[in-house]
Structure 1
Amino acid sequence: MKVRIVGIGMGPQHVTPEAAAALRSADYVVAASKGDDDGLLAARREVAAAYGLEVVAVADPERDRADPADYPGAVADWHAARVAAYAEVLGSRGGTAAFLVWGDPSLYDSTIRIVEQLADRLPLTYDVIAGISAPQLLAARHRIVLHPVGQPVHVTTARRLPEAVATGQRNIAVMLTGALDLAGLEDWSIWWGANLGTPSEALVAGTVREVLPEIEAARVRAKAAAGWVMDVYLLRAAP
């Protein structure tokens, strides 16, 4: 039994030759399903169809997304439920299964952690195929470098953005966003993108003070067009 964790970037156009070879070696795809209107599942189906692969959709367990006090514990419980669901599929089917990861498996995605736990339960091996990440594509779309000359870029989530600012970070790539809470950052520059690499892609750049209403409107349009919205942005403090 083998699992191939395949980064697919933002869709079929980002499947690299290495990822394509991995998909041709697979027998089927395992994917979480969040309901009948799951746009990300539809995107995975599109990728799988190009390689003649069946998609085994597994109902995604419920997760507490209301910023619980024990956030790591809530995520661990969610992962455990996912592991149990996937183990049932892999145990009954065997063969080579592919997990298609949006973006790159190394960055704010838990598929590797989940497959590690599956490997503790089942006699399987696994490998990881890199994909194009959202920050990479954001930089390309805006034609920018993610950091000033000789300076770092700090990558974090929206829920930890206040912490990053408080600790002195001045150049921050933000993922896993929700409501845009940028109070106090009005003079910072922002390069924002949603649903990158898809027909509903939206891009906005400027100072937070100038473009925040435009971003919020574009976010609503992207979600209406696709049924989902995934956005990422780079924030940089004024010199």
Structure 2
Amino acid sequence: MRKLYVIGIGAGDPRQVTVQAIEAMRRVDVFFVIGKGERKQELLDVRTAILTAHVDHDYRMVTIEDPPRDREIAATGADAAYRDAVGDWHDRRADLLAAHFAATEGVGAILVWGDPALYDSILRLVERVLARGAVTFDYEVIPGITSAAALAARHRIVLHDIGEPLHITTGRRLREEGVTAGESTLVMLDGECSFTTVADADLHIWWAAYLGLPDEELIEGPLPAVRDRIVQRRKELREAKGWIMDIYLLRRTKTPAAQ
């Protein structure tokens, strides 16, 4: 393999795949998929449906089983321990990718949920593979519609207020740092319902799960009023499907005089 495409495929709706992404997929011989196990088979099914809809030549799909990571450290560990645990996990993932890349002929591709540049590790893994020197190739990145953009579109909102910065963070960071005054806060990778740790009574939340999929869920309202509803619904959805991907925006409400 001497060419690899890293292709963003949007937040879940197959119609979010861009023309640029389709053109790239039609040049590919082998699609690499990092598997998440049977409980997340739906994520693989969406990728397969996208390829069926847009690629009309013969290709192969290679599933690479994702190595386990230390979720306890990821959720509660100190920053240095967290980075070490993620670094070790990335090294093991890069080893697997390098082995499969070396054994592959033709043009390869990895289909990335959302956009490869926002809270996704694939580009870091590709660089680690190249740094090892055992296999060389050129790679091209195709951007995709992010879950942040999909959240805003489905709730029909602007992600930030007029002249206001947008802070993008994780659930772990939200628990540590809270919500900064004068900033809208977009939270990703939150498996702990970290919005329940924020005490501000004047916060509004726009929450979504499974964006773009048939069972997409949307909830919005004053945080104190809808907090428990989101927690309960999220628990029900996770138990029913075995997995969940969600995202939310937090923003302080303002009086008309302050707007």
Which category of TM-score, normalised to the shorter sequence, fits these structures?
Answer: over 0.9
State which drifts further: 133-142 or 91-100.
91-100
Q: 1:147 aligns with which of 155, 160, 171?
A: 160
Structure 1 partner of 2:220: 205
Match of 1:34 among 36, 45, 51: 36
Of residues 36, 48, 57 in structure 2, which corresponds to 1:45? 48
**Distance in structure 2 (CA, Å) of the matches to 1:208 and 1:176:** 19
Residue 24 of structure 1: aligned partner:
26
- Note if 1:171 corresponds to 2:184: yes
Q: 1:138 aligns with which of 127, 130, 151?
A: 151
Deviates more, 1:21-30 or 1:47-56: 47-56
Q: CA RMSD in A?
A: 1.7
What SS does the aligned partner of 1:37 have? helix
Question: C-alpha offsets along residues 116-154 of structure 1, whole Å, 9 cap, x if unaligned?
Answer: 122223110001000000110000000000000011110
The structure 1 residue matched to 2:120, chosen from 103, 106, 109, is 109
Q: CA deviation at 1:213?
A: 1.9
Letter of the 2:44 partner, please give it.
Answer: L
Q: Deviations over 1:36-60 (max 9, x none)?
A: 2323223222223332543211110
Give CA-to-partner distance per residue, 1:178-230, whole Å, 9 cap, x none: 12132313431000000000011000000111011221233234335543210
**CA contact under 8 A between 1:153 and 1:171: conserved in structure 2?**
yes
1:90 aligns with 101
Residues 1:57 and 2:63 are matched in the alignment: yes
Hey, what's the Cα distance between the residues in 2 that align with 1:43 and 1:228? 15
TM-score (normalised: structure 1): 0.93
Task: Answer yes or no: is the 8 Å Cα contact 2:39–2:243 preserved in 1.
Answer: no
TM-score, with normalisation over the residues of structure 2?
Answer: 0.86
Q: For residue 139 of structure 1, what is the amino acid of its counterpart?
A: A
- Between the two proteins, what is the percent identity of the paired residues? 42
The one-letter code matched in structure 1 to 2:11 is: M
Which range moved further: 89-98 or 126-135? 89-98
Counterpart mapping for 1:3-18 below 5 A: 3-11=4-12, 12-18=14-20
Moved more, 36-45 or 106-115: 36-45
* Letter of the 2:167 counterpart: H
Aligned length: 239
Question: Taking structure 1 as reference, are residues 49 and 88 closer, same or farther at Cα in structure 2, changes over 3 Å only?
Answer: farther
Question: Contact 1:154 / 1:169 at 8 angstroms: preserved in 2?
Answer: no
- Which structure's CA Rg is the greater one? 2
Mapped to 2, the partners of 1:222 and 1:22 lie a distance apart of 34
Partners of 2:218 and 2:142 lie apart in 1 by 28
CA contact (8 A) 2:5 2:140 kept: yes
Q: Is the 8 A contact 1:195 1:222 kept in 2?
A: no
C-alpha contact (below 8 Å) 1:9/1:102 kept by paired residues: yes
